[in-house]
Amino acid sequence: MILVATLLCVLVGLVFYYDRKRKNTRAKKLLSKFNGSDGLPIIGNALELGFDSDGVSKILLDKWRKYGMTNYRLTVGSEEWVMLCESDDVGSILGHPTELAKPTERNAAMMPFFGNSVSTSEGERWKSTRKLMTPSFHFKTLEARVDAVNSRTDALYQVLDQYVDKAPVDIYRYLRPFMFDILCNTLMGVDDNMLANPDHPYLDASARVIKIATENYFSYWRNISFIFKLTPIYREMMDTIKTIRGYSDKLIRERRVKLNEFIEEIKSNNRDATVDINALIHEKVSEKACLLDSLLLSTLPNGDPAPDETINEEITLLCFTGHYTTTMTMAHTLYCLAKYPEIQERVVEEQNSIFNSDKLRQPTNHDLIEMKYLEAVIKESIRVIPTVTKIGRQLQNDLPLKDGRIIPPGTQVVVYYEALYADPKMFPEPEKYKPERFFNSLHPYAFVPFSAGPRNCIGFRYAWVAMKATLSNFLRRYEVLPGAPEDEPKFAHRIITESINGVKLRLKKREL
């Protein structure tokens, strides 16, 4: 008994010695200049964040208010976090030319699903992959992307018309496969009518990704691999990964057949020995702007073809994020318009002014540029219901802030969108839904839903085209009304914000 008590005392002493030693480091002294508390030895503020990943968002926002609605710090286990909520300081990290590494915990949560893809990779792989992707998202391709949205609108109408003047429809259920079909056609070169099968295993599996990834991020015990692998949650995660990765393999197989046919056609039409066939093939593929073709033709630094596993990681990421984030943003925008009918009416008035008497005409890219109020509505919906709740960087060097404070290397810097978008200094009366606020001058880093700087979202133009074209077609055909009181969305602010009970709205056909 005495031995146990002695060992316990030694252990407690070591814990407090370690904690005191940490507090005397340069890093801790620099971080002490930020509002926050150290929490408990070893675990820091981890217990304050709790064990419910869906509840962490409210706790973090409460802390922001407690600390004066400004930047603050947390200690989570051995990690130091600084939550950046000030526009100037957000600019300091997002505009930084070299601080591009994603946070360790974030990567650990995402890599099981998406591997070392462009979202998590660094250095040469990140640079080369991003360069390879750029042509597929170039502004010159935007008109073709608008056409892709328009060409699938009738199929969406056929589904949604069944709900006109009837019970509410969960907008998630049909916008997700609609967007997935568009993405597969434009970026993967494969046509797959997922809209006809909204219960497809891929859609079911991808709906689980965000919750599992968020729990991985905030459930610290999951880092203890041998324990995590014994749990049903681990088995669910592996089943989910198998399904989404398996669908990517299917896309690769199908597109490779079409690409090989395309290459053989080029070769048969260019038998002149002076023609550089490989250069011509890459030129033609670049013109088509099919991202999967570019990946299939890519090579490693040693000249070998990129392995299918590497290609799989990239398209699994793009298929998921490309359709999921745009769907959530559009669905949440429609929810806001149902909630504020006078703003919906202003959107429709703008549409009428653009299309005049030809209300059935499908939009062009030029039309989308003219939709200033619709764009403001989408932005305000993102501000009120941030699609992405936070992004981060793992500092490699000191990060000086505008006020002279320094965030030391090793710190996880989090751009905290929920607080940033609720800042009354940048957004007066932030509790109000006011799209017109985006017609005023705004700090360049006060609203950055697609990030900014070297590591911004490469597909942001694509996303804007897809969202504006879809909502333009949708709102000229349907009036959107709130669902039943019991259907009010229950938003969970995960890595991507989503309603756990869907977004259920009623539809009424407009007179054309």
The amino acid sitting at 122 is E
Decide if pLDDT at 211 tops 50.
yes
Tens of pLDDT, residue by residue over 389-429, are 999 999 999 999 999 999 999 999 999 999 999 999 999 99
In angstroms, the CA 222 to CA 220 distance is: 5
Q: What's the chain's Rg over C-alpha atoms?
A: 25
Average of pLDDT values for 276-290? Answer: 78
Tokens 């929920």 locate to 418
CATH top-level class for 31-103+131-225+315-509? mainly alpha
**pTM attached to this predicted model:** 0.93
The amino acid sitting at 183 is L
Decide if pLDDT at 313 tops 70.
yes
Average of pLDDT values for 431-437? Answer: 97
Taking a C-beta distance cutoff of 8 angstroms, is the pair 260, 157 a contact?
Answer: no
Decide if pLDDT at 239 tops 50.
yes
Residue 471 is encoded by which pair of tokens? 């909502």
Taking a C-beta distance cutoff of 8 angstroms, is the pair 140, 288 a contact?
Answer: no
Tokens 């909630």 locate to 339
| SS3 label, residue 414 | strand
| pLDDT, position 464 | 97
**Averaged confidence pLDDT in the chain:** 91
In angstroms, the CA 336 to CA 433 distance is: 8
* Residue with more model confidence, 43 or 451: 451
Q: Which of 169, 429, 450, 480 is nearest to 322 (CA)?
A: 450
The CB density around residue 67, as the number of other CB atoms within 10 Å, is: 17
Average of pLDDT values for 325-336? Answer: 98
457 labeled binding residue: yes
Taking a C-beta distance cutoff of 8 angstroms, is the pair 190, 254 a contact?
Answer: yes
The CB density around residue 191, as the number of other CB atoms within 10 Å, is: 10
Strand pairing report for 412-416 and 478-482: unpaired
Tens of pLDDT, residue by residue over 85-125, are 999 999 999 999 999 999 988 888 999 999 999 999 999 99
DSSP state letters, 125-144? HHHHHHHHHGGGG-GGGHHH
What percent of the chain stands above pLDDT 70?
94
What percent of the chain stands above pLDDT 90?
73
